[in-house]
Amino acid sequence: MKKLLEGSRAIAEAVKLCRPQIVAAYPITPQTHIIENLAQMVADGDLAAEFINAESEFAAASIVLGAVAGGSRAFTATASQGLLLMTEVLYNIAGMRLPVVMVCANRAVSAPINIFSDHQDSMTMRDAGWIQLYVESNQEAVDSIIQAYRIAEVCELPVMVCVDGFFLTHTFEPVEIPEQTQVDDFLPPFHFERTLNPSNPFTLGGGSEPDNYLEIRAQQQAALIDAVNVIQAIGADYAKLTGRAYELVDSYFAEQADTVLVVLGSTMGAVREVIDSLREQGQSVGVLRLRCFRPLPAQALVEYLSAAKRIIVIEKAFSAGAGGIVAAEVRAVLQQVGVLIPIDSYIGGLGGRDLKLTIIEDVFHQSSLAKSTADGVFLDLKQPGTATKQE
Amino acid sequence: MDKRDPYRHNVLTSGHRACSGCGEAMAARMVTDLIGANAIYVNATGCLQVFTTHNQQSSWQAPWIHSVFANAAAVASGVEAALRARGDDTPVIVQAGDGGTFDIGLQCLSGMIERGHDILFVCYDNEAYMNTGVQRSSSTPHAVRTTTSPPGRLSEGKHHLKKDVLSIIAAHHMPYAATATVAFFHDLKAKVEKAMTIKGPRFLQILSPCPLGWDHDASLSVSVSRLAVETGLFPLVELENGEVTSVMRLKQQRPVQDYLKLQGRFKHLFNSTSTAETATGNANGAAEIRHLQALADARIRRYELLQAETEWDTVRASQVQRHGRGGYRNTGQEAAS
Amino acid sequence: MNGLVIEPGSTLAYHTGDWRTQRPVYRDKWPPCGQTCPASEDIQAWLAYASDQKWEDAWRKLTERNPLPAVMGRICYHPCELGCNRKQMDSAVNIHGVERYLGDMALQKGWRHKPITDTQKTQQVAIIGAGPAGLSCAYQLARRGYPVTIFDNQDVAGGTLYSGIPEYRLPKSILAQEINAILELGIQLRLNSNVGTEISMDALRNDYDAIFVAIGAQQARVMTGLDNSSHSVMAGVDFLRAINTGKSIQLPNKVAIIGGGNTAIDAARCARRLGAEVTVICPQEPHGTQPGHPGAEIPASLEEVLQAEAEGVRLVYRAGIKRLVRSGEHLSGLEIARVDRLHNLQGDFKPVLFEGTEEFLPAGFAIFAIGQEVNWKGLEAVIEKPANNITVGGDAAGKPRFAATAVGSGFQGAMITIASLTGTPPVYEQHEKAEITVKQLHLPYYPAVIRNESAILERWKDNVELVTGFNEEVTLNEAQRCLSCGVCFQCDNCWHFCPDAAVIKNDTGYEIDYDYCKGCGICAQECPSGHINMEIVTT
């Protein structure tokens, strides 16, 4: 049965269905509604978990680290500065191969301080060793969180579900919340092989040397690469249960189009409208959304993009001093298999700037940036000197 | 697993790479053997973590986890909550150095205490960042030489005072907070055992001499820690819910020089050439020694270390007995006492 | 999962012992009590047993060297306690009190001495003298399987222990019981047998394979230059023998004793018990006035002097006798003078008196207790024709000392005798000096416990034993005051303090696991008793 819920509430409902025993968090906009909902569920006795008010995001991440090592399923959520403050611990969780699940309510990073949505926060964590799923809708957020626990626990890898702040977290949409019995069938009770236990007293997080660090890192990389198959298999399993299927990537006419747009997250909704409109005008266009950004689904990218004549990437983050992050990775994947399609890299929507339909549509009308030195072009950029003026 | 010694667990066993005469290894061995192997140990980054887990070998014989430098108290909070969620009452112990307690770990420690986690936090206080090569911490005493508080033409060592972390901890409605040191094993034992009977957050600050950083002979680690107490520089006290409930009386107060002279980290005060006016207004080594004496006197006054009405004094607490006084529990064998 | 968990205790594969430049070694050292004990008792060892209430083990350890603990616990002047390191901390362990308790307990419980060997030897040994040296020698030989016969010219065994020690210090019954326990090892005792007169030395040499001569020093030394007519004058040793053998002696009101040794004090106290006013003329200084000058103070033991004074004996220090003043035959007093120095120009002990300091001390009887000599009459051959199989021991072998010296001499005599019989060198430990001084001890580790003293009865006129023994509780408390100098008493310090878990505790003590010991030296530094040595690693 579909319910009209605020995104944050839907996310909290999904978390609750996964029966986490420990929820630890620190408030930050736009994540707060998620943890407020969870705190209320715990307070009302609807969620049999301990809600731990951490004194910082750094602590929140550390608490869920400890909770999982202590043998309990755990959840945390954050955004922006909070995610950056977690950085050290997030790398550590991944390095220790702990199945933590968190939601990042995507938000711009400071300075200047800005509470609105883009992907700069989670993109900084792309090398931390976490699986990253970027969702388009609140329905997908719900479904991805439930899958994330199973993925994490099968792969012994942490999973970050990236949900656009405000656009999703604060938006009311009708959402199908699975039944508890369905989720219980799908997600087995928490079991972590390396739970700290006096009857099997091993050491976790001990020192390594040049002689063995590299091997441990290589294992981590292999586990992440292998996770591609797990994510797909679990996605298929989930489809059997709910009828809602999720792939590593989400294509809308991408495999049939000459020009393919590549995006992440909730932008996909607007892009679908643009694609519909352009295709009605007879243009051969499509869009490919990277649902799974880490591990990078290279095989899927090759499958969906090799036939295109032009690729346009619009992303809400950038590598300062270089350019589009997703664009660079797509370019690298295709070049590796000998496909040399022009790829135009655009950066937009930073700090919550609305990526209007006209702006997206306009990108298709622009001539290709290929063979020019222009790369990572900022969309909707006001003239210098006008950006700070009140209109 | 090491079962060499029928009289103790060796929770922290041999083959670790602490320096010869390491006071922290000694203190950690005492604490962990007193608590036993039926506990989960969470370690901050630092000497203890480095010298006990090296090259994918571990000296620990109880479940043990290390995450990062600052977060031991938070990781332990998670472990403790997880155990509680599963109905498991295995004790959770945090071990950290003074850096992981006074400085980088203070916030997580404060959070852990404020939330009332049932955890014993043990700080092995060796009064500087020893693992990285002896840099000053907020625990480093006044006028100490470290690599980042070097004496020089304009300096007599560390300008600032040792942070009174115990008072900070005790101000958290803290069920139990105490200081101890290796020289007084039976005092340390009583405090660990008492801490293990109390529910909620508990804190032990254990002065742990460092032959490398304090620059004293490796054989003197126990003697030096005894002098720290006997001079009044490191009072041995217990606080329950913020109130001082017991102190170890000084049978006889020793002058601070007795303590300082054994340690190279104070050597510059005895052959000072500096004419610097320090932050605290002192002008030279002799003045700094007087200042350290005044600090010791102030601590003695504050905790009434000379007047306290207690049988537990520095002489009594030192005394040994034939066939020991018993050591560790849960060994399956009675200690031969 | 490889790399994600580490096996517990896996650093045991890493042997940090390789770092070591010095290594701790547990080594027992000979403490000063054992060194100063004239009988070379391993006092520390039997105190250790006593500390654990292993009373019989303690007694057996003690009697390895001294078969007369009930006697020695009463009458020995315990030089062991002078050596005791504990006196630097508070006061010496009351060793003799514990010794007496063990001796008395053995008599009460009927513990019997056990032979060391089951093998009976055939070579016969004769011992001349049933005093402490002769008894000690006989005891050691008998325990080692030798048939032994003791000859003594008195009608009661014990030598000076019997004839020289008053009942109030050593009840005769105690002495008799300990002697009987020794004789139970199968020793033949022939009393009233005077070797040298009734039995010739040659006859003895024919009948026995070895002879131990322990005839004591029973002949009183005579002061030269005095009118030594026997009227109203007696030697201390003879006076005591008379008292101890029950002879009746009538004394005038005032009695003077000349001498500062224990015989002098014993004589004074005996005279006091006979009702006399007694003055002791002693050439030396009082106790405690000449620290660091051995021989300058009165040689009698402090306890004896204090008890004598408590009983009303007057002591005149730093005084010597110039002449006996007689009224006809009867003694009317002594002319005494102040001592200038104790030795004459030749260095002999002969107090030199100041001219012009003379005073008259009224006395109707004078007892000279200025030393004893050996009476070799009939046994001159022992001295003149030394033989391998004849050994002289006890007071006869040198200047008279303590009874415990005689016990020690008896032990050595037994070892030398066995050596002569077996043709092998004598084997016994000689501890020339103590290996541990107070500097090697860590005194703050020891609990402060005040020394226990024996109660002294005030009913001294009854001539019953004055000093009462310890009870079990006090004995235990006193034994546990022992600092165990140089010997491990399992305090656990090394075990607690080792940063490397390289000290392993077992049921009997500790051992160093050299695979891991880094040689920091903390165990040696913090060992209370100085038992641990740090040795430089040379390889």
Helix (H) or strand (E) holding C306: helix C302-310
pLDDT given for residue B337 in this prediction: 29
B20 interface with C at CB cutoff 8 Å: yes
* Same domain? C418 vs C438: no
Q: What is the DSSP string of C218-237?
A: -EEP--TTS---STTEEEHH
List pLDDT tens digits, range C465-481: 999 999 999 999 999 99
Sign of the dihedral defined by the CA atoms of residues C85, C89, C91, C93, in that order: negative
Strand partners, C510: C505
- Chain B CB contacts of C484 under 8 Å are 322
User: Residue C494 and residue C514: Cα distance in Å, rounded?
Assistant: 14
- Of B55-69, C93-107, C236-250, the range with the lowest mean pLDDT is C236-250
Between vectors from CA B146 to CA B140 and to CA B147, what angle results, nearest 5°? 140
Helix (H) or strand (E) holding C412: helix C403-422
- What subunits make at least 3 CB pairs under 8 angstroms with A? B, C
- Where would I find the H helices in C41-163? 43-51, 55-62, 69-75, 79-83, 95-109, 132-143, 160-163
For residue C429, being part of any structural domain is answered with no
User: Does residue C294 have a pLDDT over 80?
Assistant: no
Q: What is the largest CA-CA distance in chain A?
A: 69
For residue C214, being part of any structural domain is answered with yes
- Chain C CB contacts of A96 under 8 Å are 4
How far, in Å, are A90, B15, C500, C535, C536 from residue C539 at the CA level? 50, 21, 22, 12, 9
* Same domain? C149 vs C190: yes
User: Does residue C430 have a pLDDT over 80?
Assistant: no
C536 interface with B at CB cutoff 8 Å: no
- Of A357-371, B72-86, C130-144, C255-269, the range with the lowest mean pLDDT is A357-371
Task: Identify which of A277, A289, A285, A336 has the alpha carbon closest to the alpha carbon of residue A316.
Answer: A289
pLDDT given for residue A63 in this prediction: 98
Measured in whole angstroms, how far is the alpha carbon of residue A227 from the centre of its chain? 15
A263 interface with B at CB cutoff 8 Å: no
pLDDT given for residue C388 in this prediction: 87
* Band of pLDDT at residue C507, cut at 50, 70 and 90: confident
- Chain A CB contacts of C1 under 8 Å are 97, 156, 193-194
- Chain A CB contacts of B84 under 8 Å are 50
* Same domain? C165 vs C151: yes
pLDDT given for residue A389 in this prediction: 42
User: Does residue C506 have a pLDDT over 60?
Assistant: yes
pLDDT given for residue B154 in this prediction: 83
- Chain A CB contacts of B81 under 8 Å are 21-22, 24, 50, 52, 63, 66-67, 70, 72
C84: CB partners within 8 A, 6+ apart? C32, C33, C92, C93, C95
Average pLDDT for C252-258: 96
* Same domain? C164 vs C91: no
User: Does residue C110 have a pLDDT over 50?
Assistant: yes
| Residue of B67, B112, B121 to mutate, interface with A, max A Cβ within 10 Å | B67
Measured distance between the N- and C-terminal CA atoms of chain A, rounded to whole angstroms: 44
Task: Identify which of A147, A171, A172, A169 has the alpha carbon closest to the alpha carbon of residue A160.
Answer: A147
Average pLDDT for C295-311: 92
pLDDT given for residue A375 in this prediction: 87
User: Residue C468 and residue C100: Cα distance in Å, rounded?
Assistant: 10
For residue C107, being part of any structural domain is answered with yes
For residue C119, being part of any structural domain is answered with no
Q: Are strands C148-151 and C5-6 parallel, antiparallel or unpaired?
A: unpaired
How far, in Å, are A261, C216, C299 from residue C8 at the CA level? 53, 72, 68
List pLDDT tens digits, range B244-290: 999 999 999 999 999 999 999 999 999 876 665 555 555 688 889 99
User: Residue A264 and residue A168: Cα distance in Å, rounded?
Assistant: 13
pLDDT given for residue A374 in this prediction: 82
Task: Identify which of C133, C99, C64 has the alpha carbon closest to the alpha carbon of residue C428.
Answer: C64
User: Residue A235 and residue C137: Cα distance in Å, rounded?
Assistant: 100
Count how many domains chain C has. Answer: 4
Closest by Cβ to B318, choosing from C11, C48, C445: C445
- What subunits make at least 3 CB pairs under 8 angstroms with B? A, C
Edge-first strand listing for the sheet containing C277-281: C233-235, C365-368, C254-258, C277-281, C314-316
* CATH label of the domain that carries residue C19: 3.30.70.20
For residue C427, being part of any structural domain is answered with no
Q: Are strands A377-378 and C510-512 parallel, antiparallel or unpaired?
A: unpaired
* Same domain? C213 vs C195: yes
Return residues 8-37 of A near B (CB < 8 Å): 21-22, 24
Residues in chain A predicted with pLDDT less than 70, given as ranges, are 384-391
| C442's tokens | 């860590």
User: Does residue C3 have a pLDDT over 80?
Assistant: no
| C27's tokens | 């080594």
- Chain C CB contacts of A97 under 8 Å are 1, 4
Contact B108, B74 (CB under 8 A): yes
Average pLDDT for C159-177: 95
User: Residue B11 and residue C258: Cα distance in Å, rounded?
Assistant: 73
* Same domain? C54 vs C135: no
Q: Angle C172-183/C95-109 helices, nearest 10 degrees?
A: 70
B325 interface with C at CB cutoff 8 Å: yes
pLDDT given for residue A390 in this prediction: 45
Q: Say how many C-beta atoms besides its own lie within 10 A of residue B8's C-beta.
A: 26
pLDDT given for residue B268 in this prediction: 94
For residue C118, being part of any structural domain is answered with no
* Same domain? C197 vs C299: no
Strand partners, A250: A289
Q: What are phi and psi of A330, to 5 degrees?
A: -65, -45
* CATH label of the domain that carries residue C193: 3.50.50.60
User: Does residue C295 have a pLDDT over 90?
Assistant: no
Average pLDDT for C174-181: 98
**One digit per residue, pLDDT tens: chain B, 337 residues?**
788 998 899 999 999 999 999 999 999 999 999 999 999 999 999 999 999 999 899 999 999 999 999 999 999 999 999 999 999 999 999 999 999 999 999 999 999 999 999 999 999 999 999 999 999 999 999 999 999 999 988 888 999 999 999 999 999 999 999 999 999 999 999 999 999 999 999 999 999 999 999 999 999 999 999 999 999 999 999 999 999 999 999 999 999 999 999 999 999 999 876 665 555 555 688 889 999 999 999 999 999 999 988 889 999 999 998 887 555 644 433 333 2
* Band of pLDDT at residue C407, cut at 50, 70 and 90: very high
Cβ burial of C203 (10 Å; 0-12, 13-18, 19+) is exposed
* Same domain? C162 vs C54: no
Task: Identify which of A342, A228, A368, A360 has the alpha carbon closest to the alpha carbon of residue A287.
Answer: A360
| A375's tokens | 């790369």
Sign of the dihedral defined by the CA atoms of residues A258, A259, A263, A268, in that order: negative
Q: Provide Rg for chain C, Cα atoms.
A: 27
List pLDDT tens digits, range A77-117: 999 999 999 999 999 999 999 999 999 999 999 999 999 99
* Same domain? C448 vs C464: yes
* Band of pLDDT at residue C147, cut at 50, 70 and 90: very high
Edge-first strand listing for the sheet containing B92-97: B243-247, B237-240, B176-181, B202-207, B119-125, B92-97, B40-43, B64-66, A203-204, C5-6
For residue C223, being part of any structural domain is answered with no
Task: Identify which of B189, B179, B144, B182 has the alpha carbon closest to the alpha carbon of residue B162.
Answer: B144
Q: What are the structural domains, with CATH classification, of chain A?
A: 2-192+208-242 (3.40.50.970), 252-378 (3.40.50.920)
User: Residue C181 and residue C517: Cα distance in Å, rounded?
Assistant: 50
pLDDT given for residue A387 in this prediction: 46
* Band of pLDDT at residue C2, cut at 50, 70 and 90: low
Cβ burial of C219 (10 Å; 0-12, 13-18, 19+) is middle
Contact C428, C522 (CB under 8 A): no
Subunit contact B50:A63, Cβ cutoff 8 A: no
Q: What are the structural domains, with CATH classification, of chain B?
A: 23-318 (3.40.50.970)
Chain C's closest residue to B188, CA to CA, is C496
User: Residue C311 and residue C359: Cα distance in Å, rounded?
Assistant: 25
Residue C155: which domain range? 125-218+374-422
* Band of pLDDT at residue C244, cut at 50, 70 and 90: very high
* Same domain? C410 vs C321: no
User: Does residue C1 have a pLDDT over 60?
Assistant: no
